[in-house]
C-alpha cells in the first residue's frame, strides 16, 4: 500500500470516528443531561491545544531542526559518516550501513526505507548484505528486514529475540545471533561494538558504536533538534529513559544517530534534550506540589475518584505546559505537538514511581 493510500485510509477512519462521536452512534443514545458535556476551560489554560483538540497550524520547524533537503525523485539521502559508514534517511527515519572488504552490514531496516537501502548501498558498493543488526524489535525500525532479501546473519539483544518470537511477524525474521551485555562484530577491517544498557525505551534496545568513525547510534532516545516523540518516545520506564540520555551524554563520540528526524546529532543536541528533560521533571514536580486536589470539582462528582484524580492531573499538566512554553516553544521542533504528552507522562512517573 502506498503512503498516500495509507494516509487517505487513515483520514477516512479518523473522519468517520469524529462523525460518530459528533453525530452519535446509531442504536446507542446517551442522556447528556446527566453529565459529560464539555464545560469551561480550566483557569490559566495553556494556549497550546491539548490532546483531542484540532490544531489550525502547528509551530514552524526551526531551521536548526531541519536536515539537508532530499531529492524528491530519489526519496532518500545518503550521508557519508566516514571510513565506509553511511546513514540513509528520508528525513523522518534513519538507518545505517557499514561497508567492509567482502560485504555490507546493515543496521536497522525501517519499513519506509527498505526499498531504498539496496539502492543506497549500490551507490557506493557492489558487495552483498552479509549482516543485519536490529537496534530493537519495533516494526518502524526493522519491519523492512524481510523485504531486504537475501539471508544476512541477523544480530540482536536477547530481549529483542524474546519480543520478536512473541510478535511472530514474518516481516521481522528472528535473529540468529543474540547477546546479553556486549557483542563485538569484526568484519574485515571494520568493527561495531554493540552493548545493552537496560530498558531506556523498550527491553532489548541497544547502543551501536562504530569506534573508527566515532559514531554512536541509539534509537528512540534523543531526537536532535526535536521534542522527543510523545511520552518520551513511549519509554516503558521513564526514569530508565532519563538515565540513558545522561549515559549517552557522558559517552565519548563525535556523531549521534537517533533513528528519527532529519539529521544526525551532536553533543550539544544531547545536552539540550537532557536540559529539557530536567526542566519537564522540575515543572511537573512543582505543579504536583502546588496544585490543590479537588479544587473546582463539581460536588456531584465527589463519589467518583477517577474524576477527582483526572481533574487534578489535568490541572497539573496545564501548569507544567505553561511553565515550559516561554523557554522551550522555539527551542525544540514539535514542542506544541507533544508537550501535553510529556507533562502528563512526567507527572504520572513522579506521582507513582
Ligand atoms: Zn522504538
Q: What is the DSSP letter of 65?
A: G
44 CA to middle of ligand 1, Å?
A: 35
30 CA to middle of ligand 1, Å?
A: 39
CA angle 108, 112, 118 (to 5 degrees): 65
27 CA to middle of ligand 1, Å?
A: 40
Residues 178, 153: Cα–Cα separation, whole Å: 11
Q: What is the DSSP letter of 71?
A: -
- If 0-12 CB within 10 Å is exposed, 13-18 middle and 19+ buried, where does residue 295 land? exposed
155 CA to middle of ligand 1, Å?
A: 17
Residues 90, 109: Cα–Cα separation, whole Å: 13
CA angle 89, 105, 241 (to 5 degrees): 60
The per-type count for the chain, helices as H runs and strands as E runs, is 9, 12
pLDDT number for residue 16: 41
Residues 330, 327: Cα–Cα separation, whole Å: 7
**pTM, rounded to two decimals:** 0.89
CA angle 322, 325, 330 (to 5 degrees): 170
101 CA to middle of ligand 1, Å?
A: 31
The C-alpha cell of 72 is what? 524528491
How high does pLDDT run on average in the chain?
91
Q: What is the DSSP letter of 278?
A: H
Q: What is the SS3 assignment for 239? A: helix
Written as one string, the DSSP assignment of 200-226 is SSSTT-EEEEETTTTEEEETTT--TTB
140 CA to middle of ligand 1, Å?
A: 7
Number of Cβ within a 10 Å radius of residue 151: 11
Pairing of strands 129-133, 103-107: parallel
pLDDT tens digits, 66-104: 999 999 999 999 999 999 999 999 999 999 999 999 999
167 CA to middle of ligand 1, Å?
A: 14
The C-alpha cell of 276 is what? 529539557
Give the model's confidence band at 321: pLDDT under 50 very low, under 70 low, under 90 confident, else very high.
Answer: very high
67 CA to middle of ligand 1, Å?
A: 21
Give the model's confidence band at 39: pLDDT under 50 very low, under 70 low, under 90 confident, else very high.
Answer: confident
Give the model's confidence band at 7: pLDDT under 50 very low, under 70 low, under 90 confident, else very high.
Answer: very low
In the chain, what's the furthest Cα-to-Cα distance?
Answer: 74
Identify the bridge partners of residue 207 per DSSP, sorted by sequence position. 195, 218
230 CA to middle of ligand 1, Å?
A: 12
Give the model's confidence band at 246: pLDDT under 50 very low, under 70 low, under 90 confident, else very high.
Answer: very high
134 CA to middle of ligand 1, Å?
A: 11
69 CA to middle of ligand 1, Å?
A: 25
Residues 230, 115: Cα–Cα separation, whole Å: 27
Amino acid at each position: 500500500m502506498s503512503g498516500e493510500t495509507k494516509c487517505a485510509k487513515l483520514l477516512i477512519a479518523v473522519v468517520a470516528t469524529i462523525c460518530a462521536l459528533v453525530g452519535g452512534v446509531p442504536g446507542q443514545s446517551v442522556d447528556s443531561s446527566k453529565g459529560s458535556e464539555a464545560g469551561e476551560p480550566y483557569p490559566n489554560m495553556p494556549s497550546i491545544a491539548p490532546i483531542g483538540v484540532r490544531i489550525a497550524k502547528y509551530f514552524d520547524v526551526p531551521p536548526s531542526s531541519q536536515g539537508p533537503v532530499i531529492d524528491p525523485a530519489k526519496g532518500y539521502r545518503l550521508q557519508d559518516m566516514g571510513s565506509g559508514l553511511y546513514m540513509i534517511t528520508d528525513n523522518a527515519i534513519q538507518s545505517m550501513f557499514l561497508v567492509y572488504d567482502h560485504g555490507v552490514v546493515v543496521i536497522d531496516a525501517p519499513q519506509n526505507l527498505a526499498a531504498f537501502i539496496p539502492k543506497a548501498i549500490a551507490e557506493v558498493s557492489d558487495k552483498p548484505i552479509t549482516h543485519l543488526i536490529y537496534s530493537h524489535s519495533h516494526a518502524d525500525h526493522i519491519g523492512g528486514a524481510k523485504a531486504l532479501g537475501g539471508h544476512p546473519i541477523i544480530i540482536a539483544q536477547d530481549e529483542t529475540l524474546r519480543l520478536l518470537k512473541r510478535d511472530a511477524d514474518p516481516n521481522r525474521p528472528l535473529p540468529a545471533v543474540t547477546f546479553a551485555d556486549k557483542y563485538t562484530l569484526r568484519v574485515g577491517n571494520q568493527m561495531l561494538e554493540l552493548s545493552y544498557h537496560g530498558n531506556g525505551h523498550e527491553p532489548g534496545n541497544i547502543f551501536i558504536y562504530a569506534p573508527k568513525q566515532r559514531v554512536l547510534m541509539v534509537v528512540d532516545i534523543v531526537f536532535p533538534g526535536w521534542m522527543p516523540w510523545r511520552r518520551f518516545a513511549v519509554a516503558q520506564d521513564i526514569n530508565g529513559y532519563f538515565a540513558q540520555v545522561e549515559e549517552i551524554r557522558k559517552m565519548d563520540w563525535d556523531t549521534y544517530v537517533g533513528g528519527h528526524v532529519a539529521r544526525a546529532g551532536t553533543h550539544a543536541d544531547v545536552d539540550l534534550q537532557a536540559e529539557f528533560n530536567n526542566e519537564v521533571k522540575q515543572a511537573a514536580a512543582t505543579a504536583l506540589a502546588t496544585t490543590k486536589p479537588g479544587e473546582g470539582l463539581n460536588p456531584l462528582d465527589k463519589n467518583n475518584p477517577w474524576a477527582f484524580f483526572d481533574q487534578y492531573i489535568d490541572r497539573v499538566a496545564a501548569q507544567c505546559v505553561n511553565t515550559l512554553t516561554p523557554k522551550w516553544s522555539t527551542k525544540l521542533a514539535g514542542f506544541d505537538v507533544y508537550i501535553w504528552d510529556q507533562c502528563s507522562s512526567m507527572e504520572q512517573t513522579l506521582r507513582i514511581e
